[in-house]
Amino acid sequence: MLNKKEFERIRKDMDGFEKIREEVIQKSRGIISISKRIIYALHRNDIKSASSYVAEIEKEKKALEKINIVSDVNINLVAIQEYVEAICYYHFVKNKKIPVAKELKVDNESYLMGLCDLTGELGRKAVNEVINKNFKGAYDIKNLVEEIYGEFLKFNLRNSELRKKSDSIKWNLKKLEDIVFELKLKGKL
């Protein structure tokens, strides 16, 4: 009456899916960890270490992309957002350039979510610029975050995670505007 071989097949499928799911989680955690190391190295002006981590994260991202499953976990999406944040920050520090989604080979939403997070790191960078008496650097960062915010305002974002995350740009911009205001009051700009 009951086809037990069918249940055996389903169990094997589910076990296989679970192994792949765990691999996605492991690779994603690796990308998130390397992203943090890139950003930390850049905040310490350690470009050499950051460059080494960039090579490492690119390999991990390719490995994650090869695992093509739809999963009930979204850690792989978080990993790609962290990747975008770290790589964009790396290119900003190294080349004063923000790569586009196509260069990073990521989807639009992950790119935009990563840019939202990037503005927080840019805020930290601006504070470090002021500490190091590079007032123009802090001013330029404020202008960049202002540009990013201006572009986000042109989107009609639904009440989604991206819309909520984009609110952080506004707060990061406000902090940067306060820094620039203080610098202008003190005659540093």
Task: Please report whether residue 118 resides in a domain.
Answer: yes
83 and 150 both lie in a single domain = no
75 and 120 both lie in a single domain = no
For 159-184, the pLDDT digits (tens) are: 789 999 999 999 999 999 999 999 99
- Whole-angstrom distance between the N-terminal and C-terminal Cα of the chain? 83
70 and 150 both lie in a single domain = no
Check which CATH number belongs to the domain holding 134 and give it.
Answer: 1.20.58.200
92 and 112 both lie in a single domain = no
Task: Please report whether residue 102 resides in a domain.
Answer: no
Q: Could you tell me the residue range of the domain that residue 140 belongs to?
A: 107-189
76 and 116 both lie in a single domain = no
Task: Please report whether residue 101 resides in a domain.
Answer: no
Total number of domains constituting the chain = 2
How many whole angstroms separate alpha carbon 118 and alpha carbon 166? 11
Structural domain ending residue among the three candidates 31, 64, 96: 96
For 65-110, the pLDDT digits (tens) are: 888 666 666 888 899 999 999 999 999 999 999 999 999 999 999 9
15 and 52 both lie in a single domain = yes
The 3-class SS string of 162-185 reads: HHHHHHHHHHHHHHHHHHHHHHHH
91 and 111 both lie in a single domain = no
Instruction: Give whole-number Cα distances, 25 to 19, 35, 58, 75, in Å.
Output: 10, 15, 17, 6
38 and 91 both lie in a single domain = yes
More confident position, 100 or 13: 100
Q: Check if the beta carbon of residue 150 is closer than 8 Å to that of residue 96.
A: no
Structural domain ending residue among the three candidates 96, 117, 143: 96
84 and 10 both lie in a single domain = yes
Task: Please report whether residue 144 resides in a domain.
Answer: yes
Contacts of 125 (CB under 8 A, 6+ apart): 42, 43, 89, 92, 93, 137, 141
More confident position, 129 or 17: 129
2 and 88 both lie in a single domain = yes
58 and 26 both lie in a single domain = yes
Contacts of 45 (CB under 8 A, 6+ apart): none
For 96-155, the pLDDT digits (tens) are: 999 999 999 999 999 999 999 999 999 999 999 999 999 999 999 999 999 999 999 999
The 3-class SS string of 93-138 reads: HHHCCCCCHHHHCCCHHHHHHHHHHHHHHHHHHHHHHHHCCCHHHH
88 and 117 both lie in a single domain = no
Give residue 34's pLDDT band: very low, low, confident or very high (50, 70, 90): very high
Check which CATH number belongs to the domain holding 14 and give it.
Answer: 1.20.58.2140
